[in-house]
Structure 1
């Protein structure tokens, strides 16, 4: 292959890898994609993959060694992950030329949101209402989650394209939601503010994806990436807790009045309806293709049912593992069917549903209250239970595929994630 042509392939692969990192692919999977795509293009490369930078190193030639790198400036939106997955699949087969691939990457990153901003705001309010039905289905909490969800959705939408403002959005949102919740509680004569009432409108900031990727990467011996994601995840939780307790201190509230006791005043049907409401909110807030709806419904109900029955049978800690395990197996099985969305697009919304149930933010918040002595253990175990469930699901699916395909070779588990 001519040197300039090889250079073009290497540059394209570096940028494609960076786009995958921006879409929250594990670095292990990005590295595997780069290896397979390089082989399909007939070149030998090595790669260095980090969450914020991808470097592809070509073979040594007459003019030296070609090294191309691409930085991750910002995350891709959820709706952008669908065309990206198709491009990744084509590159893995060597079915796209570098110029065409680069043009498609530019089109993906420049594509505007599929739905207007006001639809996204309404969608997040609906998503928040769905999570409220799952976590604490009471009329007051449902109303509050919807209103606060609209507020947080508006704040998040207003910060799009403004990186400096976006960095402050978690703290601003947590402060605004907590302040309004405390003022409303005083107005209504309530003697406490439920932490479960604060979770639904703040769910977009819970670092479930970061924690999950951290576990996957640490167990894959990608120590730098896994550790950095782990620290970033806890830092984001700390931002939320900081916003909550600044509001508590300014308004003179006692930390002991923040409680995490679960209440259900609507009936056992409410959480199951909440999952459907959550799905509708996801579709409006994130704007994936309409054909994604039935696939999304199947995977979120499978994940929630596994978490629900896991809680009944084994307790809240294990429920995260059972939920994550069922979510992964269901997503991988569906992604193997013709015309199905990529597995990673199915897995992410499921984790956004499971992670609030793991009560990671509640555990962090209780560090400042009466339950601080036990909250460290609660937080650590609950936040990682879902991530370990994912890893167990990946291993289970890989073993099942190896049994079915023994002797035939193949790319195995990873081909369906993209």
Structure 2
């Protein structure tokens, strides 16, 4: 029979285990802060915790009054249910400030973990379409690109929503989506070189699955000294990117198209300049719906998107693309980190995500690989070299921005 100390230890350990699992499941942008969050919460509960962390799991050793428990936790790092992370911050804040006890915290945590998605399936579907259509002018500022993206992304969104109800499909979903988009693009939309290269027509519809966020998160973890988590996440990012690449090549083979058709040439712009400005509104609304972000955060996130785009555009004109991207990543990370320090503001990841997507590093990897497959060696390696440079610039900028906005002695309040 457990002694009273053992019972208390078991409750604290179980709470921290479930908390760590939820943090892992929402850590698609990096797991380096989980250790801090868990230790800070354990301290509030009168415990000490050692955390051994990898991107998809953790080992916790919890100690209360000299007695210890060790548990392992597994999670799948994603960013598709950010409503849970948003709801978690007030809970941990209330716990840290003594406004709730462990019993109530356990109830609230369980409600967050088991809560349904905040938007119905058709709104998530619409969100994925808007997310892709808003991004399309960045690839090619043409009406044809927008129309093609609307059609292709609707098909992609149907597959993504269907996979939510069939979890086994998620493991091969990037490959299946890439094959479908490749076949549809080559058969229906890439019939005139004047409308741009097939890869540029495919990319906006695939952007929801392109692991640019994972690539930059991996680089940021490596830059911050989290070698294991950064290296594992980097390998996983490369695997996801290769799935998309192989899917596109399978589509080429199925349609009997020559790989030489995978050129990377943009069409002549026919969009008015004001439409590019409005496209970021469409993109941000799509991000909110696709990633289950509470709708009340749309305004602040839109401001952060325009801040990031504005800084990147100005920086690119003054010091080049790499320098402009580095400065934009630094400013975005600094502002998001500073805002997230307030107890009632959204978590840093939620504030970062839409602005981060505007830096578009993942598409460079896809363009580089497919261009190489098409036999355009010089152009392909140029895209891949640019990918490496931009990824490192974003990662270092994110680390620098967070460091600039973090006080010398940060408070222990989590999130």
TM-score for both structures, normalised by structure 2: 0.89
User: Which of 387, 393, 399 is the aligned partner of 1:379?
Assistant: 387
- Report the 3-state secondary structure (helix = DSSP H, G, I; strand = E; otherwise coil) of the residue aligned with 1:49: strand
State the distance in 2 between where 1:396 and 1:74 align.
27
The question of whether the paired residues in 1 share the 8 Å contact of 2:252 and 2:259 is answered with: yes
State the distance in 1 between where 2:8 and 2:123 align.
44
User: Which of 266, 275, 282 is the aligned partner of 1:277?
Assistant: 282
Is residue 2:414 matched to residue 1:411?
A: no
* Residues 35/338 of structure 1: CA separation in 2 closer, same or farther (3 Å cut): closer
User: Which of 233, 237, 256 is the aligned partner of 2:241?
Assistant: 237
RMSD of aligned Cα (Å): 2.6
Q: Which position in structure 2 is the counterpart of 1:153?
A: 157
Uncovered stretches (5+) of structure 2, i.e. residues with no partner: none
User: Which of 399, 402, 413 is the aligned partner of 1:394?
Assistant: 402
- Report the 3-state secondary structure (helix = DSSP H, G, I; strand = E; otherwise coil) of the residue aligned with 2:59: strand
The question of whether the paired residues in 1 share the 8 Å contact of 2:308 and 2:355 is answered with: yes
The question of whether the paired residues in 2 share the 8 Å contact of 1:310 and 1:322 is answered with: yes
Q: Which position in structure 2 is the counterpart of 1:30?
A: 34
* Residues 22/90 of structure 1: CA separation in 2 closer, same or farther (3 Å cut): farther
- Greater RCO structure (CA 8 Å; 6+ sep): 2
How does 1:199-278 map onto structure 2 within 5 Å? 199-263=203-267, 264-278=269-283
How does 1:2-401 map onto structure 2 within 5 Å? 2-24=5-27, 26-59=30-63, 65-73=68-76, 75=78, 77-93=81-97, 96-185=100-189, 187=191, 193-263=197-267, 264-336=269-341, 339-355=344-360, 359-369=364-374, 370=376, 371-398=379-406, 401=407
Q: 1:94-118, CA deviations, whole angstroms, 9 ceiling, x for partnerless residues? A: 6544443333232222221222211
* Residues 318/261 of structure 1: CA separation in 2 closer, same or farther (3 Å cut): farther
Q: 1:297-319, CA deviations, whole angstroms, 9 ceiling, x for partnerless residues? A: 11111111122223223333333
State the distance in 1 between where 2:381 and 2:348 align.
39
* Residues 44/116 of structure 1: CA separation in 2 closer, same or farther (3 Å cut): closer
The question of whether the paired residues in 2 share the 8 Å contact of 1:335 and 1:342 is answered with: yes
Q: 1:273-312, CA deviations, whole angstroms, 9 ceiling, x for partnerless residues? A: 1111101222333342221011111111111112222322
* Residues 105/178 of structure 1: CA separation in 2 closer, same or farther (3 Å cut): same
The question of whether the paired residues in 2 share the 8 Å contact of 1:45 and 1:57 is answered with: yes
Count matched residues: 406
User: More deviation in 220-229 or 64-73?
Assistant: 64-73
State the distance in 2 between where 1:315 and 1:211 align.
22
Deviation at 1:326, TM superposition (A): 2.1
The question of whether the paired residues in 2 share the 8 Å contact of 1:203 and 1:356 is answered with: no
Q: 1:369-409, CA deviations, whole angstroms, 9 ceiling, x for partnerless residues? A: 303343432232233332222122112223xx44xxxxxx4
* Residues 87/116 of structure 1: CA separation in 2 closer, same or farther (3 Å cut): same
User: More deviation in 107-116 or 166-175?
Assistant: 107-116
State the distance in 1 between where 2:361 and 2:222 align.
23
Deviation at 1:357, TM superposition (A): 7.6
State the distance in 1 between where 2:190 and 2:23 align.
47
State the distance in 2 between where 1:299 and 1:247 align.
37
TM-score for both structures, normalised by structure 1: 0.88
* Residues 249/232 of structure 1: CA separation in 2 closer, same or farther (3 Å cut): same
Q: 1:25-61, CA deviations, whole angstroms, 9 ceiling, x for partnerless residues? A: 6433111122222222222221212222222213387
User: More deviation in 310-319 or 173-182?
Assistant: 310-319
The question of whether the paired residues in 1 share the 8 Å contact of 2:131 and 2:283 is answered with: yes
Deviation at 1:331, TM superposition (A): 1.6
Uncovered stretches (5+) of structure 1, i.e. residues with no partner: 403-408
Q: Which position in structure 2 is the counterpart of 1:406?
A: none
State the distance in 1 between where 2:293 and 2:65 align.
44
- Report the 3-state secondary structure (helix = DSSP H, G, I; strand = E; otherwise coil) of the residue aligned with 1:56: strand
The question of whether the paired residues in 1 share the 8 Å contact of 2:252 and 2:258 is answered with: yes
* Residues 36/283 of structure 1: CA separation in 2 closer, same or farther (3 Å cut): closer
- Report the 3-state secondary structure (helix = DSSP H, G, I; strand = E; otherwise coil) of the residue aligned with 2:265: coil
